[in-house]
Amino acid sequence: MITITALIIVTDRLSYLKENINSLIKFNSDIFVVSNGYNKEIFNFLDATKKTYPKFDFKIIQEQVHKCRARNIGIESVNSDVIYFLDDDTFMEQDNIKILQEKFNLYPVGVIGGSNLTPKNSSRFQKLVGFMLSTPLMSYKMCNRYLSTGTDRFTDDTELILCNLAIKKELFTKYNLKFNERLHYNEENLLLEQIKKHGVRMLYSPNLNIYHHRRADIKSFLIQVYNSGKGRGIMSVIMPSSIKIFYFLPMLFVVYLILLILQIMPLIFLNLYLIIVLYNVICVYFINKLKLLDISIMFLISGLSHICYGVGLFIGLIQGITYKKTNSPSL
């Protein structure tokens, strides 16, 4: 039977890590953790877990490194057929290892991913973020990363996300692949695009679900969105074949807003945008039976997310172009 090891990178979120590892142990999973930077509490927990659970191992990186470097170290350390990448702030409520074994035996693919759902015990703000991320207006095709919808299907990076992603290890060695340390975000998208270029098929399965804690407040969430846009911008320069027009719509929206302030563009397009966003928010409101106050919060989440992603994308494009000109070792 195909062997699978869950790979987790952690820095300092011990409570989330415990929840994650306990959920994996419940299903008798093989686990490997890379601690990116020495943390005494995390080391004590990892050491105690190794002594009591035989299918667990870990590696400590004494001085914190780029998260892609930490992930590459983890890949080198795992000896299974498949590496199952999980974020430290995720957890399972089903046997995803068994599901992955069945899917890899059934489909001729090298990569399988699924959804990351909002935990049931999340705060109201976190739940609202989850609701909005799962709408096409907010995330386009990427909304399937936050939903469990449809049937098994061949896909690309638009539906796959690193916090719940299984990749055959042989792909890293066969094609000399690794996570690009120039990217702080969206690193899996570049890797998946490289894998795709080698003719390897990828699968999205709605059965492969994990729960993923959302950012706790609007500031941290918008920073995450900004960084996601920035990563996409850098990736677009590194690999132009990954460019899709819908990634650039938020940036065009930001350009439009600037031109609107300068009284160069008409107001009608903003009115149309606001109507579409309001319609989307109201649909979410009725479907999920939310409170009236939630409408204004979701409206704010939508508008600010598009703006932050657009600004991040622009900055990412500039950084990517600068890298190409200067051949800087880091972005």
Per DSSP, the residues of 232-270 read HHHHHHH-GGG--GGGGHHHHHHHHHHHHHTT-S-THHH
Q: Under a CB-based contact definition with an 8 Å cutoff, are residues 196 and 173 in contact? A: no
- Judge if 169 and 258 occupy the same domain: no
- Judge if 90 and 205 occupy the same domain: yes
- What pLDDT is attached to residue 246? 87
- C-alpha distances in Å from residue 72, one per residue of 16, 66, 109, 237: 22, 10, 22, 22
Continuous H helices in the chain:
14-25, 40-52, 67-77, 96-106, 124-133, 136-139, 170-174, 187-197, 218-238, 249-261, 268-287, 292-326
- Judge if 192 and 238 occupy the same domain: no
Give residue-wise pLDDT tens across range 238-279.
888 888 888 999 999 999 999 999 999 999 999 999 999 999
Looking at the domain assignment, is residue 221 inside a domain?
A: no
- What pLDDT is attached to residue 107? 97
- Judge if 252 and 295 occupy the same domain: yes
- What pLDDT is attached to residue 183? 81
The structure tokens listed for 258 are 């600037």
191 in the Ramachandran plot: left (φ > 0), alpha (ψ -120 to 50) or beta?
alpha
Nearest to 234 by CA among 328, 314, 325, 158: 314
- Judge if 47 and 136 occupy the same domain: yes
Q: What total of structural domains would you count in the chain?
A: 2
Phi, psi of 226, deg, nearest 5: -60, -45
The residues that bridge with 58 in the sheet, in sequence order, are 33
Looking at the domain assignment, is residue 153 inside a domain?
A: yes
Looking at the domain assignment, is residue 158 inside a domain?
A: yes
- Judge if 68 and 194 occupy the same domain: yes
- Judge if 199 and 313 occupy the same domain: no
- Prediction pTM value: 0.93
Nearest to 32 by CA among 82, 67, 102: 82
Phi, psi of 217, deg, nearest 5: -145, 170
CB atoms within 10 A of CB 304: 15
CATH at 133:
3.90.550.10
- Residue 65 exposure: Cα atoms within 13 Å on the Cβ side: 15
Task: Look at residue 209 and tell me whether its pLDDT is greater than 90.
Answer: yes
Its domain, for residue 273, covers: 234-326
Nearest to 96 by CA among 4, 204, 171: 4
**What b-and-e string marks burial along 118-128, b requiring 16 or more CB atoms within 10 Å of the CB?**
bbeebeebbbb
Of all residues in the chain, the percent with pLDDT exceeding 70 is 98
How many angstroms separate the CA atoms of 164 and 93, rounded?
13
Q: Which distant-in-sequence residues (6+ apart) come within 8 Å of 300 by Cβ?
A: 218
Residues 114-130 have a mean pLDDT of 96
- What pLDDT is attached to residue 241? 82
- Judge if 92 and 127 occupy the same domain: yes
- Judge if 152 and 288 occupy the same domain: no
- What pLDDT is attached to residue 327? 62
Q: Under a CB-based contact definition with an 8 Å cutoff, are residues 190 and 239 in contact? A: yes
- What pLDDT is attached to residue 294? 96
- Judge if 181 and 33 occupy the same domain: yes
Nearest to 87 by CA among 34, 140, 43: 34
How many angstroms separate the CA atoms of 295 and 283, rounded?
10
Looking at the domain assignment, is residue 224 inside a domain?
A: no
Residues 314-322 have a mean pLDDT of 92
Q: Within its chain, how far is the Cα of 184 from the centroid?
A: 12
- Judge if 146 and 13 occupy the same domain: yes
